[in-house]
Structure 1
């Protein structure tokens, strides 16, 4: 049960609304008008690359049996794109030491999400590692681009409001059907009756 709860921190049902919240907050809290666009590009690019990798496999069988790779782990990639940025945003007026701690937690959460995907046998090691690498590359590039950006501080009521939707979604526990949608889309694009599966990869 604990791993199932932890893996939810990488679920699209949680991350997409949280990404929207970040996009709404950034123009208000950042002194850099481009910050929100950098964020939308980073998060959108993560989603696009993950989706394309899955469509290439499920629609056209493009993967690697040797590395047991059927596409980037979406939970790993999206969580490692979002949580470092979310903690950076919320810790904007912390002392430098506490801000490093907060951002460090933002990097730790996706690592635990990735590990949970292995524990519950949702992904292979190659899919989790490449997903984390993709997400951490995008979130780190975003944070580096914002190193001279000043953020307005959050009051505790504002912090509570910012995390309210994520907390409600976590407590609800509803899981996104992104994988099922991509499977149907992949089969339709490729003109298949059913999408390729991991079993097909290892029987080619």
Structure 2
């Protein structure tokens, strides 16, 4: 169950879903600038997370005191995407049900963050900072859309929109983002051994 929850923050699922959302925002939203706002928010999350990981793995920039080696990518990216996704799909609902639906979008990243902690992939500081980053970006996007009008989705349209994410969830293949960033960090820093959490925590001893 935990591995299913944590997959809701995996780039293998989120990047294709973000692209689908860009198409749906262009199609269903009255604000024609919204797709660019969405692209900016999602790319900003990915860029900030990646830079924090490169800074640590390449140059050892982190915090031994707070056990921080970079933002949790699963937490940050899921907190950026799922609130917006559920808002997007709630166009036909009443204001009350739309609020409930968006709240579910905020709940999923919290569950992703907990799963990262329980599975011991991240420290508390990394998960909390990742959630704050992602929720800030998704909330800013949603505030920017408070005066826009969403067209509703038919049941068939919702099914088509969710088809690829559901296929990816059932497949469960993980992205190799961490390995790529590790290799990139070593190249940028000109080192043959990336910094690890163990290296960082030695500084606290």
- Report TM bin, short chain: over 0.9
| Aligned-partner Cα distance in 1 for 2:60–2:91 | 44
Which residue does 2:79 correspond to in 1? Answer: 80
* 1:21 to 2:44 alignment: no
| Aligned-partner Cα distance in 2 for 1:44–1:122 | 23
Task: Point out where structure 2 has 5 or more consecutive residues left out of the alignment.
Answer: none
Which residue does 1:114 correspond to in 2? Answer: 113
| Aligned-partner Cα distance in 2 for 1:14–1:155 | 23
| Aligned-partner Cα distance in 1 for 2:4–2:30 | 36
Is the partner of 1:81 in helix, strand or coil? Answer: helix
Q: How many residues are treated as equivalent by the alignment?
A: 203
Which residue does 1:10 correspond to in 2? Answer: 9
Which residue does 2:175 correspond to in 1? Answer: 176
Q: Using the TM superposition, give the Cα deviation of residue 168 of structure 1 relative to its aligned residue in structure 2, in angstroms.
A: 0.3
| Aligned-partner Cα distance in 2 for 1:14–1:96 | 29
Kindly provide the CA deviation profile for residues 57-77 of structure 1, in whole angstroms up to 9, marking residues without a partner as x: 000000000000000000000
Which residue does 1:41 correspond to in 2? Answer: 40
Kindly provide the CA deviation profile for residues 96-119 of structure 1, in whole angstroms up to 9, marking residues without a partner as x: 111001000000000000000000
Is the partner of 2:93 in helix, strand or coil? Answer: coil
Which residue does 2:123 correspond to in 1? Answer: 124
Which residue does 1:200 correspond to in 2? Answer: 199
| Aligned-partner Cα distance in 1 for 2:151–2:110 | 28
| Aligned-partner Cα distance in 1 for 2:26–2:74 | 27
Q: Using the TM superposition, give the Cα deviation of residue 175 of structure 1 relative to its aligned residue in structure 2, in angstroms.
A: 0.2
Which residue does 2:134 correspond to in 1? Answer: 135
| Aligned-partner Cα distance in 2 for 1:27–1:182 | 31
* 1:167 to 2:160 alignment: no
| Aligned-partner Cα distance in 2 for 1:168–1:150 | 30
Q: Using the TM superposition, give the Cα deviation of residue 95 of structure 1 relative to its aligned residue in structure 2, in angstroms.
A: 0.4
Which residue does 1:149 correspond to in 2? Answer: 148
Structure 1 ranges of 4+ moved more than 6 A: none
Which residue does 2:187 correspond to in 1? Answer: 188
Q: Using the TM superposition, give the Cα deviation of residue 157 of structure 1 relative to its aligned residue in structure 2, in angstroms.
A: 0.3
| RMSD (Å) for aligned C-alpha atoms | 0.5
TM-score (norm 1): 0.99
